[in-house]
Amino acid sequence: RHPTRDALPYLREALRRDPGDTRAATALGAWHLRRGEYALALEALQTAVSRATARNLSPRDGEPLYLLGLVHERLGDDAAADRAFARAGWNAAWSVPSALARARIALRAGRSVDARYLAETAGAVPEARRLVALADPDAMGALALARHLHRDDPLDAASAALVRALAAPAPGTADEAPEADSLTPLDERTALDVGAEFERAARLDVALAATEAPASSTPAAGRAGPLRHYLRALWLDRAGEPAAASAERRAGAAADASLAFPAGLEQYDALRAAVRADSTDATAAGLLGMWLLDAGRHTDAVTALQTAADAGSTDPVMWRNLALARVAATGDDEGADAALRHALHLRADARLVLERDLLAERRGLDAGARLALLNEHAPLIGTRDDLALRHVSLLLDLDRIWEAWRVLTSREFRPFEGGEGRVIAAFDRAICAQARALLADGTPDALVEAAQLLTLSVPAHLGEGRHPAEPALERIVLLGDVRAAQGAADAARATWASAVAPTPLAVAERPADALTFWRGIAHLRLGDADAAEAAWRVLGERAQALHEAPDAVDYFATSLPELTVFDTGTAAARRRTADELDELATRGRALTRAAALETNRQEASA
């Protein structure tokens, strides 16, 4: 497992070398199942089972058989699913989940005695005990068991829903279940999972009761929104009630989709059924596209999301997802920008402004064009730290130093994922730009001001501190230049020497980067041309290594916020880094030659 390295090519290569490899076929089948690709999952898992049972009908590992049962269940073949689960249950590790699955199938087939026996063999698992209650012909005994489960775990929403359903008054009576008010699910999405559990156990009444109305919840937990209606429609279709299913789908199409994030195969099946029932349902198509995008089925996601767009969707999240899917599926950057532009037209949102700038950077737009896009939504720039930082960086790129400096000296930045060191880097960059201008001025007051700027500490309002092993070498070199311009030669040399002094805080030698360049410049200022040349050589070697070979796998690379928006891969980034290092090495050698010429000129004039 690795956050940026996909296992799929390795699995396919293993199957290319050995088409019957059980482990690779099982992993591939599980991958297809998670993505809702049932036919492909079936093919891979049948391959795995065929090899695993070639010499032993009861294989050592029951995982491929259990997964095969799940696929058959999704495809509606309960008989084949039951056979697969029964064989998987021979293995102790898979006996409990297999028994639960078979108990559900028995309940759907009306075999309550078999269902109770199978559920009891699963032990004290709460879901198994609920199945025992559902299979119990004694209503009072079932309610007593459900109440016992709820007392054992009052936070188990499924047990609470079962108590509420079993304690409900009979139709036509005025009595109320005493538990009704105290057993409301804490959030809407939990109710959807609870309903799915009971529908799979052939208790449509409990499933519908659990999802009758949205639970009170905070937005952070996500909303059920239209997903609740589409799930209920799927269940009603399975129960042979098409009119009621159609009514639920109409309600889903009209529901607010804000904060509704589809997840799981049950919701995938419900959304597919909704789109099949009405291809003009923009809400269902948009949510299906979101599910497919999350599953990595980018081409299918584009199809679903484009269907929603053609149906007149006014959901900015759908248009944003369409932008992501277009980039991921075909690299259609222009189409993605059009989708993001429309999303911003529907709702001005700082996150969308940020993502459009990420896309603009990917498209290769220059700093001026990117800044113009940001300024279309100027009031939003200051509402996010990451967006404000990108704005500052563009101002610096365009030499609008004072505008950037005003933001850096007045805004209270907070740490954000992926922003480690970037605010300080912008702060240093702004200081160096101002110091160079003051150094070029050359007046005593300007030099004093430059020295004051270059010795500024990182202010607390930037939200982070400088890493002790990464000194601000460019600032140190410039400070030495300022002191030299002030006539303090000894102080200048001491400053430059501090730039090349080793630090005991570095835990390992770091690869060549911009700090290497400024260390080389410090050596050059000190008259050590050989040490400077060594720095340029290291920069060139690092650039060549990046051009020739990919980076080593880094198992600490878990913070990749921008790659989750537009996956640009690592090859292009390596090339850019290599080109930058080559340019630094070339600049360094040019400065070495210039310094040598100046030394020769001074010696000749002497």
Query: What value, to the nearest 5°, has the Cα angle with vertex 523 and ends 522 and 529?
Result: 140
Mean pLDDT of the chain: 90
Higher pLDDT, 56 or 285: 285
Q: What is the distance between the alpha carbons of residues 465 and 479, in angstroms, rounded to a whole number?
A: 21
Tokens standing for residue 36: 């809702």
Q: Give the rounded distance of the alpha carbon of 95 from its chain centre.
A: 34
The span from the CA of 189 to the CA of 358, in Å, is: 31
Q: Kindly give, in sequence order, each residue whose CB lies less than 8 Å from that of residue 557, ignoring residues fewer than 6 positions away.
A: 2, 3, 4
* Start-to-end CA span in the chain (Å): 67
| Residue 563: predicted pLDDT | 46
pLDDT at position 180, please? 45
Q: What is the dihedral of CA 457, 520, 524, 595, to 10 degrees?
A: -120
pLDDT of residue 483: 96
Average pLDDT over residues 166-171: 69
| Residue 188 pLDDT class (50, 70, 90 cuts) | confident
The total of other beta-carbon atoms located within 10 Å of residue 356's CB is 24
Spatial CA neighbour of 371 closest among 383, 362, 361, 363: 361
By mean pLDDT, which of 14-28, 448-462, 563-577 is the weakest?
Answer: 563-577
Quote the pTM value: 0.88
- Which band of pLDDT confidence, cut at 50, 70 and 90, is reported for residue 116? very high
pLDDT band at 128 (very low <50, low <70, confident <90, very high): very high
Q: Is 94 exposed, middle or buried (0-12, 13-18, 19+ CB in 10 A)?
A: buried
pLDDT at 184 over 70: no
- pLDDT band at residue 424 using 50, 70 and 90 as cut-offs: very high
Alpha-carbon distance 573 to 547, whole Å? 11
Using one digit for the tens of pLDDT, what is the confidence trace for 214-267?
A: 666 666 678 889 999 999 999 999 999 999 999 999 999 999 999 999 999 999
Kindly give the interhelix angle for 316-330 and 282-294, rounded to the nearest 10 degrees.
Answer: 40
Distance CA(443)–CA(478), nearest Å, equals 16
Q: What is the pLDDT of residue 215?
A: 61
Structure confidence at residue 566 (pLDDT): 74
**HSE (side-chain half, CA atoms, 13 Å) at 169:** 9
* DSSP H or E segment with residue 585: helix 571-605
| pLDDT value at 331 more than 70 | yes
Residues in the chain: 606
Residue 135 to residue 296: CA distance in whole angstroms: 39
The answer to whether the beta carbons of residues 490 and 520 sit under 8 Å apart is: no
Task: State the SS3 of 329-361.
Answer: HHCCHHHHHHHHHHHHHHCCCHHHHHHHHHHHH
Q: Which residues contact 454 (CB under 8 A, 6 or more apart)?
A: 431, 432, 435, 475, 476, 478, 479, 482
Q: What is the pLDDT of residue 56?
A: 85
